[in-house]
Amino acid sequence: MKTFKKISLSFFAMVGIGTYAQEFNADLQLRPRYEYRNGYKAPLKNGELPTSFVSQRTRLKFDFKLDQFSTKVSLQNIRTWGDVPTTATADKNGVALFEAWGQYDFTDKWSARFGRQVIAYDNERIMGEIDWLQQGQSHDALLVSYHPANHRLDLGAAYNANAENQIRPSTPYTTNYKTFQYGWYHTNIDKVGLSLLLLNTGYEYQKTATTLETDYKQTFGTYLTFKNKAWDANLGIYGQSGKENNNKVNGFYAGAFVGYAFDSNFKLGAGYEYFSGKDQNDTSTDIKSFYPLFGTNHAFNGYMDYFYVGGNHKNSVGLQDAYLKLTYAKDKWQFNLMPHAFAASASVIDTNGEKMDSYLGTEIDFTAGYQLHKFIAATGGFSQMFGTSTMNILKGGNNVANNNWAWFMININPRIFSAKQPQPNQ
């Protein structure tokens, strides 16, 4: 808290001494969340017991703008209640930078941003903030944006190292990727939104005992949206190619959703996602499973995170997810019900070498939210997984056990300071 206080005072002083048109805002977020995990991410194994805990995000955000220059600094502390003693002299995780970037607008159409920043596009299936994670997701990157009327083209790049090394290390860098470059384009044509993405990611691996190699994987595709008064729909199609750990990559993804609003309160939608996978009896070294890289995966394929969250289910048998989404909102309340039916895209083989039924199970997610105050929102949910014996082969554990997950979260997000200083008359 002393660090927060010092930085806050420094920013407040900046606002007072300027003589040019400028804006400064400071926002605070406090987000404690209780979770009860009883077969979360994977079925419970025999003898395992459920657990519960409270985690909390504390985030302090500063935004400053002066003419064509803008900057943002976001500090956060992530903790589990009780992870340090009540008389501790230091925090376990300390204060970390979530965002720290500067941006310059060369013209009203061209801008450049560099530093630690959130990179999120479209429905965040491939690149997202992952806001559900208390720590979120951000990148050290350079972003150049061209945004004339009704068009936007973003070009981004990142290059990572684990330290200021004197010589090249002989073991892989600790970052999750060595480098990436991407281009994202978006435009609207009447009621249709069109996005195109091309992402090249480089991952380092140990080729020999003393040699590192970087393989590059390409993710490319399109995302389409449609919306009118009652209907909304989206369609995403992506492919993956290149190499990973010296293995050829060839993956495919398609996802679609159609929703209809019966009135201002009730909406019903249906969707389907397909991730390519690899048969368990396939002896080739090719990677045939599509992986959504930096996506906000918790928002998809069930809230119990059995698939694609934190690297789980990567390079596996793929996934098919058919789901419904029912939403009811009235006054300050909102309710959501989402049943999912999961199946493998590729063959699952049992311990006798026989092909199993592709059906993995059904998950039912229920969430509710209430806007208690302008700055305070309360949300909670309950999820139940009804897994099959095929799920057991993939995840282990006991599908007959009562696997479920419950959570409750308070989000307090006030603006604690705001100041605007107009440009003085010349």
Residuewise pLDDT in 10s, the chain (426 residues): 455 455 555 544 544 444 457 999 999 999 999 999 999 999 999 889 999 999 999 999 999 999 999 999 999 999 999 999 999 889 999 999 999 999 999 999 999 999 999 999 999 999 999 999 999 999 999 999 999 999 999 999 999 988 898 888 777 766 689 999 999 999 999 999 999 999 999 999 888 877 889 999 999 999 999 999 999 999 999 999 999 999 999 999 999 999 999 999 999 999 999 999 999 999 999 999 999 999 999 999 999 999 999 889 999 999 999 999 999 999 999 999 999 999 999 999 999 999 999 999 999 999 999 999 999 999 999 999 999 999 999 998 887 789 999 999 999 999 999 999 876 654
In a domain, 426, yes or no: no
In a domain, 381, yes or no: yes
What pLDDT does residue 162 have? 85
In a domain, 80, yes or no: yes
In a domain, 318, yes or no: yes
In a domain, 52, yes or no: yes
Model confidence, pTM: 0.91
Instruction: Provide the 3-class DSSP secondary structure of residue 5.
Output: helix
**Tell me: the pLDDT tens digits for 84-117?**
999 988 999 999 999 999 999 999 999 999 999 9
What pLDDT does residue 15 have? 46
What pLDDT does residue 173 have? 66
In a domain, 94, yes or no: yes
- Tally of domains in the chain: 1
> What CATH number does the domain containing 217 carry?
2.40.160.100
**Tell me: the pLDDT tens digits for 282-338?**
999 999 999 999 999 999 999 999 999 988 999 999 999 999 999 999 999 999 999
In a domain, 324, yes or no: yes
Domain range for 343: 2-421
In a domain, 150, yes or no: yes
> Of the candidates 39, 99, 32, 110, which has an alpha carbon nearest to the alpha carbon of residue 71?
99
What pLDDT does residue 19 have? 46
Tokens linked to 369: 């939210």
